[in-house]
Homo-oligomer: A and B are copies of this chain.
Amino acid sequence: MVTVYGMADSGNCYKVKLALEQLGAAYHWVEVDSTKGGTRTAAFLARNPNGKVPTLQLEDGSHLPESNAILFYLAEGTPLLPEDRAGRARALQWMFFEQYSHEPYIAVARFILRYLPAGTPRRAELPRLQERGHQALAVMEQHLAREPWFAGKNYSVADIALYAYTHCAADGGFDLGRTPAVGAWLSRVKAQPRHVALG
């Protein structure tokens, strides 16, 4: 059985939980609080030298970090990953988009507003984070105005990766009212079998 080292309120960790639940896979969950130094201990750094959750411990004892690499690994050979080469490339396109153009703005704005004290100087970052995050949401809106899912004809790990921080984007001050196709897609994701909530 695999073990997830994760933090329940982290969207990146939630991706892994949602995929495991939807695949009906058995797993252990070990809660690691990155806000209290849990990812900087020697024991944790031996699991992932980059000091981040989630990290998946495989059945052979080795560790796999990076939420979207974990999603791809779990989904290979299942309906959560397109069967064709072009479809897999599309899934990866959106998963790299998520980590480069979406998460660093939408998740970081949420982190500042949800985890840091109201007086933190990091609030000065919010206007730029919100501008860039709304740009990412606009790119998603343009795609979702034409297609129901991000990769191929079915719900996939690309949707899981983008759902994780999009569905709670309001926590970071984002206005999802500007992107109705994104809102409709969030409802479709939430209606998938075995869906579980963040947390």
* Pair A73/B49 contact, Cβ less than 8 Å: no
* CB contact between A92 and one of B50, B69, B104 (< 8 Å): that residue: B69
Residues 53-105 (chain A) with a chain B CB within 8 angstroms: 58, 62, 64-70, 72-73, 76-77, 85-86, 88-90, 92-93, 95-97, 99-101, 103-104
Are A66 and B92 closer than 8 Å at their CB atoms? Answer: yes
Give the complex CA separation of A69 and B85 in angstroms: 11
Residues in B with CB closer than 8 Å to A76 are: 85, 88
Size of A's binding interface in residues, CB under 8 A: 34
Does A34 lie at the interface of the complex (its beta carbon under 8 Å from any beta carbon of B)?
no
Query: Which one of B69, B77, B90, B104 contacts A96 once the chains associate, using CB atoms below 8 Å?
Result: B69
- Report A74 CB to chain B, min CB distance, Å: 9
Q: Would you give the shortest CB distance from A183 to chain B, in whole angstroms?
A: 19
